[in-house]
Amino acid sequence: MPVASADILQGGRFPSLEPRPTEVPAEPITHGECRAALTGTVRFEHMVVDSSHGGTDRPLRVSVVACAYNEAQNIEGFLLSVLRSLQRSFTLQEVICVVSGSTDGTEAIVREMARRDARVRPIIQSERTGKAAALSLGLSAARGEVIVVENADTVPLPESLERLVATFQNPRIQLACSHPVPVPTRPGWTGRIGTALWEVHDRVSRRMPKAGEAFAIRAPAIMIPWDVEDDDTYVGICAGLRMGSSVYVPEAIILNRVPETVTDYFHQRFRVNSNILQLWQRRRLRSSTWQARYVVPALLEAIRADPDRLPGLLGLIGSEMLIRAAALLANRLRRRPRETWPPIESTKFAILRTGTTRPAE
């Protein structure tokens, strides 16, 4: 069942930890090496883990990489939540924030946060060239043993990064995926459909861990092409192919917003599905949410768990079928993927209340 995010936002105090000395990891893995693994006979495991216990070995050095475009309302809350996260199994070495062509004051907020805490490392792009390009820059600068990739329009719970990173005390783990949970939105169709969507994603990830709003990989980083269509899926698949295990950590909850209007919802889902399709058509990498062997059992489980939510799930199924059909048609007409997409404005409101960001509505 979905987590009651209204209760999640009742806060906790965060510890303040000083940065530790850094070391430079090995050379990054390239796209060619990833493709070689995909065409070979590599086998790896998928697991769901309970990481409620802390790590018992030495703390791992962790880099967090986030990409931001016009996130002035949420970026401070995101950075504060990351910096003050519970840290038992790891030491937060740096938070690399790649700011790409923002025009709403995001850059100034990130620079001020860097002045206040040396662990914040801004990378400023004067122009917006797409998330894949921004993420590639961030990954290439990361110096941690474990790299957490998280969207800047989300907020991790105080213990979420700890639970995500603790799994890497097992040396076989190469990819750990979090559990995105939508924060309360305005009552209506999009809120119900958005909640149903993320519940199904949760159930899919319990079968095949899926990189999304936040995930962690072991260094060296996966270097991604700047024109890659779906950067999260690409990095997640390549990381999972490193002769190791990919895990899903349901307790690693990441708060995010769902679109508040029908138009915004359709635009967001069209963008997501278009990128997934392009990734399959151009690189033969397939998202688990486009595979019936994962999606159908997840839907049936959701219906059995709460039959009263059947109308919402049917609405989700109908809207996804319509949007995916539109994405299929558009991709037949468009030869190259889009590097940038218009922002979904109703997902930009702040999740946490801070001194300089706009309160969540």
Q: Enter the DSSP assignment of 29.
A: B
Please report how many Cα atoms fall inside a 13 Å half-sphere around the Cα of residue 169, on the Cβ side. Answer: 18
Backbone dihedral angles phi then psi of residue 123, each to the nearest 5 degrees: -125, 120
pTM of the model: 0.81
pLDDT at res. 105: 92
Give the number of other Cβ atoms within 10 Å of residue 342's Cβ. 8
Of 170, 195, 159, which Cα lies nearest the Cα of 247?
170
Residues of the chain with pLDDT under 50: 1-46, 53-55, 357-361
Q: What pLDDT is attached to residue 227?
A: 79
Please give the pLDDT value at position 336.
Answer: 64
Reduced to 3 states, what is the DSSP secondary structure of residue 230?
coil
Report pLDDT digits (tens) over 168-206: 999 889 999 999 998 866 678 888 888 899 999 999 999
Of residues 96, 228, 218, 236, the one with CA closest to residue 178: 236
pLDDT of residue 233: 85
Q: How far apart are CA 21 and CA 87, in angstroms?
A: 16
Architecture of domain 50-346: Alpha-Beta Complex (3.90)
In the chain, where the domains are located: 50-346
pLDDT digits (tens, 9 = 90+) for 68-103: 999 999 999 999 999 999 999 999 999 999 999 899
